[in-house]
Structure 1
Amino acid sequence: MSKAYVFTEYGGPETQTFVDLPRPVPGPGQLLVAVHAAGVNPVDWKVRAGYLRAVLPLTLPAVLGTEVSGVVEEIGDGVEGFGIGDEVFGALPLAGGYAEHALLPAQTAAHKPTAVSFTDAAALSVSAATAHQGIDRLNLTPGATLLVNGAGGGIGVAALQIARDLGVTVIGTASPGKAEFASSLGATHVAYGQGVAERVAAVTPNGVDAILDLVGGDALYAVAGLAVDKSRIVTAVDPTAASELGGDYFQVAQNGEALAPLAELVESGMLDPHVTKVAPFTEAAMALTAVEAGHSLGKTVLKVR
């Protein structure tokens, strides 16, 4: 048997519980991974709440979690490039990560460098990949000004570093308590909430060249007017706002080829996932609650083994 943390129906945290499930068997194109660490992301509670069930319905109960790192225990038919005992990390198709064993599609998996910890690797497949691909879409040049809307979480932390290393001037909106943290990553911190546009304008009176939005909704509309060119507003969370504003919505492309360069950046020291909270698997509920409440600083990861 394999212990897993699931939600039994769509709804709030009260639907979450630990269960013992049969050890999964890999199908064609899959790796059975003994999970060492699992990333905790906002998308996890959004899946549980049912926000994505219209497009990606799940059979309930469903295991929470969308990114893992661990060791390959079995290999399904048709898999090439991986062997039993390989240390890997990767993204799961919407669910399955909060568990002792996970079925990881080989096409979304990458080899974990020995020098990169399991906890750091578990922070890359969703958060860092989203940041990297979002910034890539903006095609920023040195000297440009980027506003990262929602800079305090795992995606924002990666985005600040990636943009900084491109020679971009970075402004990040986050709660007041995350000011020192954002500044340590080379960004100018601006507190979010009422009056945020005026506070950003005080820092950059001529507006910003681009916006990477990780919040959506009213928080995005509040700062959208700061973009000199609305087509250079990229959001990872709000397709409706992107359409109305004339910006761009994207979903992270989950493939191993996109993940390998991120692991190399971590290995070289150029990217720090800033895993600021490593919670034991038994505390999955508390870890997800903190992320859902927006109180997490940096990235939260569950240590499964």
Structure 2
Amino acid sequence: MPQAYAYTAFGGPEVETFLDLPKPSPGPGQVLIKVRAAGVNPVDWKKRTGYRPQGAPAPALPAVFGGEAAGVVELIGPGVTGIAVGDEVFGQTVAGAWAEWALLPAELTARRPPSVSFEDAATLPIAAATAHDALVQLALPAGATLLIIGVGGGVGVAAAQIARIQGLTVIGTASAGKKDFVESLDVVPVEYGEGVADRVRAAAPQGVDGILDLVGGHALEEEVAGLLSDRTKLVSAADRETVARLGGAPVARLRTRAVLDQVAAWVADGLLNPRVVEVFPLPEAAQALHRVEGGHARGKVVLTNPA
């Protein structure tokens, strides 16, 4: 039976395990892929602890980790159009990606451009698509200044590059240890911690025109949000309650195939680099998740399966 990495209860790493699960069958509007690569994201370990976005139902346990994957279509369900068996695709998953097989909703599945690796494609449905949607929502004009709170993670890395494609100046907060990495993104780095708002003002004496928050909590509420007078230009992918209280809004996800096609096209054209920094085989899923949960990854972590 196919192997999948899952959590059997809510808690810490002790609830993680490999399971032998039946090969899924695609339902209406779904495709089944043989997984070649799957992204690892902070939301994966957060869901294991019991976190879920506001309004989202609790997952049935055991739950397979992972929300994004790239692979080869093996079966298509009723009503699926525009995708065929044998297509190399990527997209968000129905119920887990860290497995030999995964189900994807057809409307959130796109073809992989030949010049985009499976590893890069697998990082796009969550991080890059979220970054794309946030910048659509902010709608800043070319020449404006964007502050990204927490620029060093997967969403921040993608958002910084997409913002530069749009002609924005980007300032990003990150740990001191990520200074060189942030500068490599053509972003002005600002160190986290006490006095960060003053350091942002020094880096952007003309002010900031928009804020994308990827951290939430104290970093958003007490330190940085006061830099922005127009709170309609404040969006968060990390803290729905705090951003709403401050007059901003959570990132509104578009969740369409067109968004996936766009971010993949940027990768194919060399305008967007997903910055895959570590690749682990599926049997090392625990180590991959530990890297992300520890906050040490400078970019994206990916799991792979053999062809």
* Partner in structure 2 of residue 282 of structure 1: 283
In structure 1, give the amino acid aligned to 2:185: L
2:148 paired residue number: 148
How far apart are the structure 2 equivalents of 1:251 and 1:147? 18
Partner amino acid for 1:79? V
Gaps of 5+ in 2: none
Partner of 2:229: 228
Kept in 2, the 8 Å contact 1:91–1:254? The answer is: no
What is the alpha-carbon distance in structure 2 between the residues aligned to residue 245 and residue 160 of structure 1? 23
Aligned to 1:192: 192
Give the whole-Å Cα distance in 1 for the aligned partners of 2:191 and 2:282. 33
SS in 1 for 2:190: strand
Q: Which residue of 2 aligns with 1:108?
A: 108
Deviations 1:190-223 (A, max 9, x none): 1112221121111113431110011111111121
TM-score normalised by L of structure 1: 0.97
Is this contact kept in 1: 2:137–2:252, CA < 8 A? no
Asked if the contact 1:231–1:246 (Cα under 8 Å) also holds between the matched residues in 2, the reply is yes
Take 2:250 and 2:272, find their aligned partners in 1: how far apart are those partners? 25
Q: CA deviation at 1:184?
A: 1.2
Q: Deviations over 1:50-101 (max 9, x none)?
A: 11186221110010000000000111111111111100000124x4111010
Once the two structures are superposed, the pairs formed by residues 129-208 of structure 1 within 5 Å of their partners are: 129-208=129-208
Sequence identity (%): 54
| Aligned equivalent of 2:26 | 26
1:67 maps to what in 2?
Answer: 68
3-state DSSP of counterpart to 1:33: strand
Does the 8 A contact of 2:133 with 2:252 survive in 1?
Answer: no
Q: Write the distance in 2 (CA, Å) between the matches of 1:12 and 1:171.
A: 34
**Shift, 1:251, TM fit:** 4.3
Q: State how far apart, in whole Å, the 2-side matches of 1:156 and 1:15 are.
A: 29
TM-score of the aligned structures, taking structure 2 as reference length:
0.96
* Aligned partners of 1:92 and 1:105 also within 8 Å: yes
Q: Write the distance in 1 (CA, Å) between the matches of 2:260 and 2:60.
A: 28
Moved more, 139-148 or 204-213: 204-213
Given that 1:171 and 1:190 are in contact with CA atoms closer than 8 Å, whether structure 2 keeps it comes out as yes
Alignment length (residue pairs): 304
* CA deviation vs aligned residue, 1:207-258 (integer Å, no higher than 9, x gap): 3111001111111112101113222111112111111100011243322121
Mapped to 1, the partners of 2:238 and 2:185 lie a distance apart of 23
Q: Which residue of 2 aligns with 1:299?
A: 300
After TM superposition, the runs of 4+ consecutive aligned structure 1 residues lying more than 3 A away are none
Matched with 2:89 is 88
Asked if the contact 1:5/1:18 (under 8 Å) is kept, the reply is yes
Contact 2:40 2:289 in 1 (8 A): yes
Gaps (5+ residues) in structure 1? Answer: none
Within 5 Å, give how 1:210-225 maps onto structure 2: 210-221=210-221, 222-225=223-226
